[in-house]
Chains A and B, each alone.
Chain A
C-alpha cells in the first residue's frame, strides 16, 4: 500500500512537471513567430533599403530595376493616417468625454460603449466596403479620402474606449475642487480632467494610429495604389501596406525586395509607436 501511494505521488509529480514544461513550451512557441518575423524583416529589409532614396523615391517604371523606393507609399500612409487622426481622434475623445464625464452609468453611455466595443470587432475590410459605398460610389473614382475614412472608422472606437478608461481613472477630487471654485463643467473637463488624463489619451491615440497605419484590406479598393509621387488625397494614392501587398505577390525579385524594405519601414513605425505607448502607460501606472 505504501508502494501504491508512492507510485501515485510519483505520477502526480511527473504530471506536474510535464504540465509546467508544457506551459514554458507554449510561451517559447508563441514567441518564436515574433522573433522570426523581426529577424527576417530586419535582414531582408535592410538588404533592400539601399539608401535615403528608398524613402524619397517612388518605385521605378521598370519592374526589374532595383532603383527607387517607397517614397510615394510613405507619403500616402502619412497623409491618410494624418487626415483620419485629425477628424476621428477628436471625435473619439468627445464621445469618451460624454461617456465618462457627462453621463456615466446612463443607458445611453452603456449603449455607446457597447457598440464601440462591437465596432472594434468588425473586420476592417468592411470599413473599406463602407468607405467605398460612401465616397467612391459618389465621386466615381478611388481616392485617399475614402481610404482615410476607412482608417478613421477603425481608429474611432479604439480612441473612444481608451480615452474613456483614462478619464475614469482621473480622481474625482480634482473635478470637485474645480467645480467648487465655480468653474463651469466644460471648462473643468477641458482644463483639468483632460490634461490630467493626457498621457493615457495620447497612448490610446498612438495605438489607434499604429493600428490604422498597418491596415491593408480597407485600402485595396478605396485608396487603391498610385505608382508616382503624389500628395493629392482626392486621387488614388499609395500606402505602405498596399505597397507591401503588391510587392509580395509580384513575380519580379526587385519588387519583392522592395516589399521587405517597406515592411521594415512600416514595422519600425508601428512597433516604436506601440512600445512608446506601453512605456507611457507603464510609467504612469507606477506613479
Chain B
C-alpha cells in the first residue's frame, strides 16, 4: 500500500478528492497562490520589524553607556565624547513650527479655493499645480533655496532684526551666513509641506455634502459665512489631520534643511540663527563619524526621529480617517 501510493498509476484513486475540492472552490493551486501573496504582504511587516531591530542594535552601545539622558543634553562635541541631542531636537521643532505657521493659511486657503470657489472642471488642473510641488525632489528645493531664496530672505531678516530685534528676542540676530538658519529652512519646509496640507484638506472638504452648503445659503449667508458655518466645522478634524501629517513630513525632511539651516549644533533663541535638525545632522555627520559612539549617537537620534514621526503620522491618519467618515 505504502509503495503503491507513490505509483503514478494509482494516482487515480486520489482523483475524487481533488475533484470534490474543485467543486467547493478550493484547489491546491489556490492555497499556493494565497500563500505566496500572503508572503509578499508579510514581508513588508517583516522588513519594517527588521528595520526597527537593526536600528536598535546599531545604537545599543550609546544607550548602554549614556543612559537616556544624553538625548536632552545641550552640548554636542563628538570629538570629546559629549553627545547631547537637544540642539537637534530644538532645531527640528523650531523649523517645523515655522513651516506650519507659514503653510497652514496657504494650504487651507488653497484647499478652500479649490473646493469652494473653483469651477468643478478646473478643480483637477488647479489642484495639480500645487500637488506638483510635492514631486519636486527635496535637493532641488535646497539648491533653489541657497541661490534664489536666501538672497531674498537676507535683507528681510536684516530689516526685521534691526527693527524688531531689540524688543522681540526671536527676531534678533545673529543672522546665519548668507541668511541661512532656522527661518530659511522653515520657509523651504513650508513650501514642501504645502501640497500635503492642501491636498488632504481639499479631500476632506469635498466630502462635505452639498446640502449643508445650500442650507447655509438658504439662511442668507454670504459665501464666507457659509464656509465658516457649513464647511469649516465638519472639516476641522480633517484639517487638523492634514496639518499634523504636514508636520510629520517637516520633521523628517533632511536634505533641503541641511542645505539651508547652517549646520551649527547650538541652542539659540533667534529665528535667524544657524542651527541643525535631527535628520540633517544624521545626513551630514554619518560619513565623517569615525568614533563608534558618534555613529551610534547619530543612529540613536534616528530612533528618536523615527518614534516621533511614526507617532505623529499615525495620529494624523487616524484623525483624517475619522473626518473622512
Point out residues on A near B: beta carbons under 8 Å. Answer: 12-13, 15-16, 19-20, 22-27, 29-31, 33-34, 36-37, 40-41, 44, 91, 93-95, 97-99, 101-103, 108-109, 111-112, 115-119, 121-127, 129-130, 132-134, 137, 153, 156-157, 160, 179, 182, 184-186, 189, 210, 213-217, 220-221, 224, 241, 244-245, 248-249, 256, 259-260, 263, 266-267, 270-271, 274-275, 278, 282
Closest beta carbon of chain B to A92's beta carbon, Å? 8
Q: Are A20 and B55 in touch, CB under 8 angstroms?
A: no
Q: Are A19 and B224 in touch, CB under 8 angstroms?
A: yes
Q: Are A119 and B283 in touch, CB under 8 angstroms?
A: no
User: Can you name 12 A-B residue pairings with CB atoms under 8 Å?
Assistant: A26-B106, A40-B148, A118-B317, A119-B48, A121-B245, A130-B54, A185-B29, A216-B139, A221-B283, A248-B139, A260-B143, A267-B136
Contact of B109 among A25, A221, A256, A270 (CB under 8 A): A25
Extra inter-chain contacts (11) besides given A266-B140, A267-B137, CB under 8 Å: A20-B117, A20-B223, A26-B108, A37-B140, A94-B41, A122-B309, A123-B253, A125-B254, A221-B287, A241-B139, A260-B143
Closest beta carbon of chain B to A4's beta carbon, Å? 17
In the A-B complex, the 5 residue pairs with the closest CB atoms: A26-B109, A123-B252, A214-B137, A94-B40, A121-B313
Q: Which of B266-308 contact A (CB under 8 A)?
A: 279, 282-283, 286-287, 299, 302, 305-306
Closest beta carbon of chain A to B296's beta carbon, Å? 11
Q: Are A118 and B310 in touch, CB under 8 angstroms?
A: yes
Q: Are B38 and A115 in touch, CB under 8 angstroms?
A: no
Give the residue among B42, B114, B249 with the most A Cβ atoms within 10 A.
B42
Contacts of A37 in B (CB 8 A): 136, 140-141, 144, 148
Contacts of B51 in A (CB 8 A): 126-127, 130, 153
Q: Are A244 and B225 in touch, CB under 8 angstroms?
A: no
Closest beta carbon of chain B to A49's beta carbon, Å? 15
Closest beta carbon of chain A to B62's beta carbon, Å? 14
Q: Are A121 and B310 in touch, CB under 8 angstroms?
A: yes
Is B200 an interface residue, CB under 8 A from the partner? Answer: no
Contacts of A249 in B (CB 8 A): 146, 259
Contacts of A98 in B (CB 8 A): 34, 37-38, 40-41
Is B79 an interface residue, CB under 8 A from the partner? Answer: no
Q: Which of B236-255 contact A (CB under 8 A)?
A: 245, 248-249, 251-255
Q: Are A270 and B137 in touch, CB under 8 angstroms?
A: yes
Q: Are A186 and B29 in touch, CB under 8 angstroms?
A: yes
Q: Report how far A267 CA is from B144 CA in the complex, Å.
A: 12
Is B105 an interface residue, CB under 8 A from the partner? Answer: yes
Contacts of A256 in B (CB 8 A): 147
Q: Are B38 and A16 in touch, CB under 8 angstroms?
A: no
Name the residue on B nearest A217 (C-beta).
B254
Is B179 an interface residue, CB under 8 A from the partner? Answer: no
Q: Are B128 and A112 in touch, CB under 8 angstroms?
A: no
Closest beta carbon of chain B to A105's beta carbon, Å? 14
Closest beta carbon of chain A to B220's beta carbon, Å? 10
Closest beta carbon of chain A to B241's beta carbon, Å? 12
Name the residue on B nearest A33 (C-beta).
B191
Closest beta carbon of chain B to A112's beta carbon, Å? 5
Is B154 an interface residue, CB under 8 A from the partner? Answer: no
